[in-house]
Amino acid sequence: MTRYVRETTRLAQAAALLAIIKDDPDRLDVVHELQRMLIRVLIRGERRIIRLKQARQRLMRVKARERLPQDKARTLKTLVKELDQRVEDERHLLFLWRCFGDGIAAVYQSKYSLKHLFYDSNYNVKEEAGFLSGKAGFRKEYKVLCIGIRMRVPVVMSDLTNIIRHGDVCGLGGADPLPIEMKSSTNRNARVARQIEQLQVLADFYANDGAPNFRGAPNTIRVELKHPEVTYEGAINECMLRAQQEGIALLSPETGLHYFSFTQECFEKSQHRIDEQLAVHVSRTTLFVQLTPEPSWLPLYPFTLSMRTQNVVPFIQRDVHVAVLIDMAVLKSHFKANGIHATVLMDGYYALQICVDPSDLMKGVFRISEQLFHRVACEFQSLRWFAEEHSSVFTSAEAAQGPVTTDTNGLIYEPPLGWQGLKCLFDDPS
């Protein structure tokens, strides 16, 4: 069943506006127009949530003060569950609208730079944006947005995004994002001091391309990609369009990587077609990643940018489903071709451990998080490129770090506990 049917037209309008910005970043008038639209739909959604919560409170008061017959008590309980589900749906819709705000930010700024605005000082996900409705500083924030647009500087209000969780507005015209905190009062407290401190830490990190200690990690260094990123946005969009026309589509842009798309109608009426396709291309070394428009996508490159206008809305409404099939054996062979040994972990935090020599990890070892590896699926990256780029991590880090001495901060003298003698998840059990 199509989700958010009433929002179809508005979602399509937002997707079309974002596509204009992507094709022509100088169209700051469209940047302004899209944010005005997001403000309207977010406030409307917030007001619906408030009304639903008030209705729930009324029902709970009835339950608390009256001794209801069993049938009426069951009915009331059902109504409460339905209200809770509607609140959850409305909150999810707010997330989806903010994905278009994420798209604005990602047009102008590197996804790797924006990622740092998603976390707090302890590298935990920072609390999400509050309601715009009734926000004391909203008018000032909107004024700054308008001033930036008039000065031909792309600016986004942080509350209109999912990923920018530092500052109230964010300037996007420089080499790195510039989050700005705005206060309507001159009063200072511990919370304000923490906000200012975190903004300064971020500013220093961006300016210096690293820090001696960044959010608890010593010797953090920003290293540029050594090889131009290779992605298959065209292939995934073609696959989705074919699925909408034919019910099901499968496309392989390179060895070991398959894009699989099918419609909800096909799933309901011809599931055997889906099973037959998967049976041909899935093996014991295949990692199956189903893509869904959920908050778990964050902080990766927004699907509202990588998917074409005619694919975004069907994907949001679950009319079209997308999965990425990754052959981990092929990925390991790509690493091997670059002189690197790869061990597949997929332990809930780390996806891979790569090293120069598995018998001597002190020659160089690195772990790739599942979040980083999910860029292959969610950002439609090339497997071959991914292996080549991350194989260069050892030489790139060494060049950026410079000589290592006994006084180097964070120096270790043996591999971390549990990193040696690992068994690959996809090794032959025999």
Residue 187 has pLDDT above 70, yes or no: no
Residue 429 has pLDDT above 70, yes or no: no
- C-alpha to C-alpha distances, 85 to 56, 89, 157, 321, nearest whole angstrom: 11, 6, 29, 22
Q: How far apart are CA 346 and CA 354, in angstroms?
A: 13
Contact between residue 52 and residue 58 where contact means Cβ atoms under 8 Å apart:
no
pLDDT range class, residue 332, cuts 50, 70, 90 = very high
From the centroid of its chain, how far is CA 48? 26
146, two tokens? 């308008």
Q: How far apart are CA 250 and CA 239, in angstroms?
A: 6
Q: How far apart are CA 291 and CA 297, in angstroms?
A: 8
Residue 192 has pLDDT above 90, yes or no: no
Determine which helix (DSSP H) or strand (DSSP E) holds 275, and give its type and residue range.
helix 271-281
List pLDDT tens digits, range 206-265: 999 888 888 878 778 888 889 999 999 999 999 999 999 999 999 999 999 999 999 999
pLDDT range class, residue 154, cuts 50, 70, 90 = very high
* Mean pLDDT, residues 14-19 taken together: 98
Residue 397 has pLDDT above 60, yes or no: no
What proportion of the chain, given as a percentage, has pLDDT over 70?
94
Q: Higher confidence at residue 402 or residue 138? A: 138
List pLDDT tens digits, range 198-216: 899 899 999 998 888 888 7
Specify the amino acid at residue 51: R
Place of tokens 């690197």: 340
Residue 389 has pLDDT above 90, yes or no: yes
272, two tokens? 């055997």
pTM of structure: 0.92
Contact between residue 316 and residue 11 where contact means Cβ atoms under 8 Å apart:
yes
List pLDDT tens digits, range 341-375: 999 999 999 999 999 999 998 888 999 999 999 99
pLDDT, residue 218, reads: 79
Side-by-side strand order, sheet with 178-180: 155-157, 169-171, 178-180
From the centroid of its chain, how far is CA 195? 23
- Would you list the domain boundaries of the chain? 5-221, 233-329
Place of tokens 């029902």: 59
Contact between residue 316 and residue 15 where contact means Cβ atoms under 8 Å apart:
no
pLDDT, residue 31, reads: 98
Contact between residue 43 and residue 132 where contact means Cβ atoms under 8 Å apart:
yes
- C-alpha to C-alpha distances, 150 to 28, 37, 227, nearest whole angstrom: 9, 18, 37
Q: Higher confidence at residue 313 or residue 185? A: 313
pLDDT, residue 260, reads: 97
Helix 309-316 to helix 233-246 angle (10° resolution) is 60
What proportion of the chain, given as a percentage, has pLDDT over 90?
71
In sequence order, what are the beta bridge partners of 263? 320
* Mean pLDDT, residues 146-156 taken together: 97
Determine which helix (DSSP H) or strand (DSSP E) holds 273, and give its type and residue range.
helix 271-281
Per-residue burial over 270-305, b = 16 or more CB atoms within 10 Å of its CB, e = otherwise: eeeebeebbeeeeeebbbeeebebeeebbbbbbbbb
Q: How far apart are CA 113 and CA 145, in angstroms?
A: 21
Q: Higher confidence at residue 64 or residue 15? A: 15
Query: Could you count the other beta carbons within 10 Å of the beta carbon of residue 363?
Result: 11
Query: CA angle, corner 260, sides to 255 and 264, nearest 5?
Result: 175
- Residue 162: exposed, middle, or buried by beta-carbon count in 10 A (0-12, 13-18, 19+)? buried
Specify the amino acid at residue 115: K
List pLDDT tens digits, range 17-30: 999 999 999 999 99
Q: How far apart are CA 110 and CA 225, in angstroms?
A: 12
Residue 82 has pLDDT above 90, yes or no: yes
pLDDT, residue 428, reads: 61
